[in-house]
Copies of this chain bind each other. A is one copy, B any other.
């Protein structure tokens, strides 16, 4: 493989200047932690700088007040290619928005981050699609700390998938979430690929890529549907199957048994669908909980 390079840029000073501007704009007192370099040396004081960071620090003293990064993305003029976030306007915009968001939160709820750093107590585990159009906390209007999240291709819950199962185990067993929601959405690319597969693709065990392997259960589901089934049928059935499979899982079965024994609250599993054309999430009314004892 070809090796890759790292380069240190004037990121720290640039960001300090940015955040100072935002601090003024939001009429907040200066927040020391707003300087990324200070964050590094205070919150993570035990972390030693990497060799490249160390070299950067040595050649760019923190008292310097000028920045050489004036164009949004400096074109490389040497054999060293700049690749860090500050070199790309779209990433710089993300970090700027992040600083603005943090300033707003600190202003509205001064102890929010202090409390947040102490622990989490989410009430919901969201198993959703990786699709960029379904960011759970934005579409449900939730704050950080409320929803534990697993997102993969086509919001699948597969028996052999350690990643999804580990999330379920952690969320239900350690964090004690009250609810698990499998959330599908219209116009899902993974479901579209499965929907357009050929009947002979069902049961294929000779897939060569991770994506093909990960889509295989969805392809099998597609060809198990009655003739004339639409892509939306597949999307809904994928969610409903996920709900059934999560409910059947050892993690949920154990939690239900324990809740029944202790008389404590059981966890519930829900199936939802986001309609991209309206932004609305609909309950598919396929929730599962334990039988009443």
Contact = CB atoms under 8 A, between A and B. Distances in A.
Interface residues of A, number: 136
A72 interface: no
Contact of A290 (B4, B85, B215, B280): B4
B5 A291 contact: yes
Interface string A105-139: 11000001110111110111000001111111111
A85 B248 CA distance: 20
B290 A2 contact: yes
A258 interface: no
Contacts of A179: 88, 90-91
Interface string A267-293: 011101101111111110111111110
A142 B101 CA distance: 11
Interface stretch (A61-69, A160-168, A196-204): A160-168
A221 interface: no
Nearest to A114: B277
User: How many identical subunits does the complex contain?
Assistant: 2
Contact of A275 (B44, B81, B139): B44
A70 interface: no
Given A120-B131, A287-B83, A233 B48 contact: yes
Contacts of A149: 130, 132, 135, 151
A6 B291 contact: no
A277 B230 contact: no
Nearest to A37: B282
A223 interface: no
Interface of A is mostly: mixed
A157 to B, nearest CB: 11
Given A1-B253, A283-B86, A76 B292 contact: yes
Interface in A1-44: 1-6, 8, 11, 31, 33-34, 36, 39-40, 43-44
Contact of A280 (B8, B34, B50, B81): B34
A94 B144 contact: no
B187 A117 contact: yes
26 contacts: A2-B256, A4-B289, A6-B287, A11-B283, A44-B186, A46-B233, A81-B292, A83-B287, A83-B289, A88-B178, A91-B124, A91-B270, A97-B140, A106-B279, A113-B277, A117-B187, A120-B133, A130-B149, A135-B142, A138-B144, A144-B279, A152-B167, A161-B163, A166-B213, A169-B209, A170-B211
